[in-house]
C-alpha cells in the first residue's frame, strides 16, 4: 500500500505540472503545420522524457497491482457509488453536452469544429445548430453523426489533412457514439461508450506528440504566462507535460481502475487549464471533458481488445512502449509523407498563423490564415 501511495503521489505531481499545458496550443499561439518537426531522437535522448515515463509506469503498475486485490474492488465500488446518479443518466448527460457544444460553436460563429478551424461561410454555423437539434432524438442522431463527419470533410477545403488529424479521432468517436446509441441492436449499443473512450484516447495521444515534435510552439505561451511551468525550466516542463497527456490517454484504454483514475486526473487537468486560458479553452475542450467524465462514471468491468495483455503486469510497459512507437512513427512518418523530409519546400513567411489579431491572442500580429 505504501508503494501504491507513492506511485499515486508521483503521478499526481506529474499531472499537476502538466495541467495548464493541456490547452490546445494551436488555439493560442502562432504555428506552421508544415514546418519540419524536431527529430525524434531529440525526444529519445531527453532525460525528462524518460523520467516522466518512469513515474507513470510506476503508477500504472502500482494501480494494476492494487486492482487485483480486494482493495482495488473496494475503490471501484466507491467510485461506482459516487458516480451512480450520473451513470444512471449517462446517455442523457453525453447527449446534452454534445448538443451544448454545437450550440456554443454556433454562437461563437466562424469556425468548423474548433477555435483554430476558422471559416468565412456563415451557413456552417447553421449546420452546427441543426446538428445540436438532431442529437435529442434517436431517429435523427445518425444525421447528427453524419453532420459531424461532414464538417470535418468540409474543413479539408481550407486546412491540410495533417492539421485535421488532430480532430479526426474525437469526431469519429462522437459520431460513432450517436449511431450506436440510436441502434436497436443491443450488442452494438453496448459498445457506444467504448467508441467514445477510444476516440478521446487516440485524440489525446496524437495531440500530445506536438510537445515533442514542436516544443517551440509552446515557448510564446511560457513567455506570456510564466506561471504555467510552476517554476520549472520550460525544456523540462514541456516534455513531461507531453508524457502526462500521452500516458493518461493510453490509460483510458486499460483496465477499469487505471482508466477511471486516468479519467479523473484528466478532468482535473482540463478543468485547471480553463482558468488561465478562458472560455475558448472551455468550449474547445467541452467534448473531451464530457467524455472523460463519462469514462470515470462507467461502471463496466469488461476489458476489451487484448484483455490478457492488459491484465498482466508485463503488458503495461510493453503496451505503452508499443503504443508510443506506433504513434510516433505515424506522426513523424505522415508529416514527412505530406511535407517532405525538411518540411514544406517553400515555407511561409514568419508570423503566418491561423489566428486573427485579438487581445486574447497577442502573439498573432499578421492576421493571415493558414
DSSP string, 2-64: HHHHHHHHHHHHHHHHHGGGGS-GGGTS---TTSPPPPHHHHHT-HHHHHHHHHHHHHHHHHH
Q: How sure is the predictor about 220, in pLDDT bands with cuts at 50, 70 and 90?
A: confident
pLDDT value for 152: 95
| pLDDT score for 51 | 92
Examine residue 275 and state whether it is found in any structural domain, yes or no.
yes
Across the chain, mean pLDDT equals 82
Residue 85: the pLDDT is 93
Q: Which one is predicted more confidently, 12 or 207?
A: 207
In a domain, 196, yes or no: yes
Number of domains forming the structure of the chain: 1
3-class DSSP assignment, residue 139: coil
Q: Does residue 12 surpass a pLDDT of 70?
A: no
79 in any annotated domain: yes
CB count within 10 Å of CB 266 equals: 29
Give the least confident one: 20-34, 48-62, 140-154, 232-246. 20-34
Mean pLDDT of 12-40: 62
CB atoms within 10 A of CB 179: 18
pLDDT at 4 (0 to 100): 45
* Residue 365 backbone dihedrals phi, psi, to 5 degrees: -120, -15
Is residue 357's pLDDT more than 80? no
Q: Is 95 within the bounds of a domain?
A: yes
Q: Is the pLDDT of residue 352 over 50?
A: no
In a domain, 32, yes or no: no
- Average confidence (pLDDT) over 115-128: 89
250 inside domain: yes
Q: What is the mean pLDDT of residues 97-124?
A: 89
Range of the structural domain that residue 212 is part of: 2-16+38-339
For residue 261, tell me if it sits in a domain. Answer: yes
Q: Answer whether residue 155 is part of any domain.
A: yes
Amino acid at each position: 500500500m505504501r508503494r501504491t501511495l507513492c506511485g499515486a503521489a508521483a503521478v499526481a505531481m506529474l499531472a499537476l505540472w502538466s495541467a495548464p499545458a493541456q490547452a490546445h496550443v494551436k488555439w493560442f499561439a502562432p504555428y506552421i503545420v508544415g514546418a519540419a518537426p524536431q527529430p525524434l531522437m531529440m525526444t529519445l535522448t531527453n532525460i525528462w522524457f524518460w523520467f516522466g515515463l518512469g513515474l507513470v509506469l510506476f503508477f500504472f503498475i502500482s494501480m494494476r497491482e492494487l486492482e487485483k486485490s480486494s482493495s482495488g474492488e473496494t475503490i471501484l465500488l466507491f467510485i461506482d457509488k459516487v458516480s451512480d446518479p450520473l451513470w444512471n443518466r449517462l446517455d442523457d448527460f453525453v447527449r446534452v453536452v454534445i448538443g451544448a457544444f454545437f450550440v456554443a460553436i454556433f454562437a461563437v460563429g466562424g469556425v468548423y469544429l474548433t477555435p483554430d478551424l476558422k471559416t468565412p461561410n456563415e451557413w456552417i454555423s447553421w449546420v452546427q445548430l441543426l446538428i445540436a437539434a438532431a442529437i435529442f432524438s434517436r431517429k435523427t442522431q445518425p444525421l447528427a453523426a453524419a453532420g459531424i463527419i461532414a464538417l470535418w470533410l468540409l474543413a479539408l477545403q481550407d486546412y491540410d489533412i495533417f492539421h485535421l488529424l488532430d480532430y479526426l479521432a474525437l469526431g469519429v468517436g462522437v459520431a460513432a457514439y450517436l449511431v450506436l446509441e440510436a441502434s436497436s441492436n443491443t450488442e452494438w449499443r453496448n459498445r457506444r461508450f467504448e467508441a467514445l473512450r477510444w476516440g478521446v484516447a487516440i485524440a489525446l495521444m496524437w495531440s500530445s506528440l506536438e510537445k515533442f515534435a514542436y516544443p517551440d510552439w509552446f515557448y510564446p505561451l511560457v513567455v506570456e504566462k510564466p506561471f504555467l511551468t510552476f517554476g520549472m525550466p520550460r525544456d523540462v516542463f514541456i516534455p513531461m507535460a507531453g508524457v502526462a497527456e500521452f500516458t493518461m490517454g493510453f490509460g483510458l484504454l486499460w483496465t477499469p481502475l487505471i482508466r477511471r483514475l486516468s479519467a479523473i486526473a484528466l478532468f482535473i487537468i482540463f478543468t485547471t487549464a480553463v482558468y488561465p486560458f478562458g472560455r475558448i479553452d472551455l468550449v474547445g475542450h467541452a467534448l473531451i471533458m464530457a467524455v472523460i467524465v463519462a469514462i470515470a462514471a462507467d461502471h463496466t468491468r469488461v476489458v476489451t481488445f487484448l484483455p490478457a495483455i492488459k491484465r498482466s503486469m508485463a503488458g503495461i510497459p510493453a503496451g505503452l512502449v508499443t503504443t508510443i512507437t506506433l504513434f510516433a512513427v505515424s506522426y513523424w512518418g505522415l508529416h514527412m509523407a505530406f511535407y517532405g523530409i525538411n518540411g514544406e519546400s517553400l515555407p511561409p513567411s514568419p508570423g503566418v498563423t491561423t489566428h486573427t489579431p485579438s487581445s486574447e491572442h497577442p502573439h498573432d500580429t499578421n492576421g493571415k490564415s493558414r
